[in-house]
Amino acid sequence: MTEKPIKMSVATRLRNNFLAGLIICAPIAITLWLTWSVIHWADSWVRPYIPARYDPESYLNFAVPGTGVVIAMIFITIIGFLAKNLIGQSIVRFGESIVQRVPLVRTIYKSLKQIFETVLKEQGTSFKKVGLIEYPSPGLWSMVFVSTDAKGEIASKFNAMGHDMVAVFLPPTPVPTAGFLIFVPREKITLLDMSPEDGAKLLISGGLVSPEYREKLIAAKELPPPVPMKSLS
């Protein structure tokens, strides 16, 4: 007995088409809006400090969005280039010595500098791996971003107890920008093959967007069983 195909109503088809279009248009629209907002925000900060003779809008009859972003990127690149030579390093050290004398400012500056150095360091290993740990109780697993090995005083205390601990970041869902710093024994972490970007997508979507995974098959050639050697008579 053949089953009759289920006919969808016009309202159902319209709803499905709308949802399909929303999935395509919403990410594009949000991305363009965020990009446009960042460009305008950067322009509002940089453009007031641009001399009129160097501002393209002084010679044109229309606005040129993104000028502030380009000038800021060029300025930051030049500062980074100058800071690598001896004179630039001396100026940076002199400026930091002045900042270190201000009680509240030195704490904020030192914390921000350490964060940027850790995140932007090319040889850094922070948030390059994703793993699973049993949390909040045995049998329940949570996804974490592996940060780095325990260092400093914390590592010394753990080493005295005979523990090899790793710092991991446990983010919440669906906003993974805040979370918990947890020190976990190395052997308790199950590393995953997915990238941190895929892990962030999985968290933000609440588990709905799962990254593609192809199981790695190791082609092991089966060798024939060894033939017993006949005794020489």
Which pLDDT tens digit goes with each residue over 57-92?
777 777 777 777 888 888 888 888 887 777 777 888
Quick check: is 196 in a domain?
Answer: yes
The total number of structural domains in the chain stands at 1
Task: Check: pTM over 0.85? Answer yes or no.
Answer: no
Are 126 and 119 a contacting pair, CB within 8 Å?
A: yes
Residue 192 lies in a domain: yes
Q: Is residue 84 part of a domain?
A: no
Q: Establish if 185 belongs to a structural domain.
A: yes
Give me the domain span that covers residue 148.
129-204
Instruction: Look at residue 148 and tell me if it is in a domain.
Output: yes
Long-range CB pairs of 177-182 (<8 Å, 24+ gap) are 181/147, 182/133, 182/135, 182/144
Whether residue 59 lies inside any domain: the answer is no
By C-alpha distance, which of 77, 38, 76, 70 is closest to 54? 70
Residue 231 CA: distances (Å) to CA of 53, 213, 225, 227, 228: 99, 52, 18, 12, 9
Question: Is residue 189 in some structural domain?
Answer: yes
Pairing of strands 190-192, 129-134: antiparallel
Per residue in 90-130, pLDDT tens?
888 888 888 888 888 888 888 887 777 766 664 454 577 89
Instruction: Indicate whether 209 belongs to any domain.
Output: no
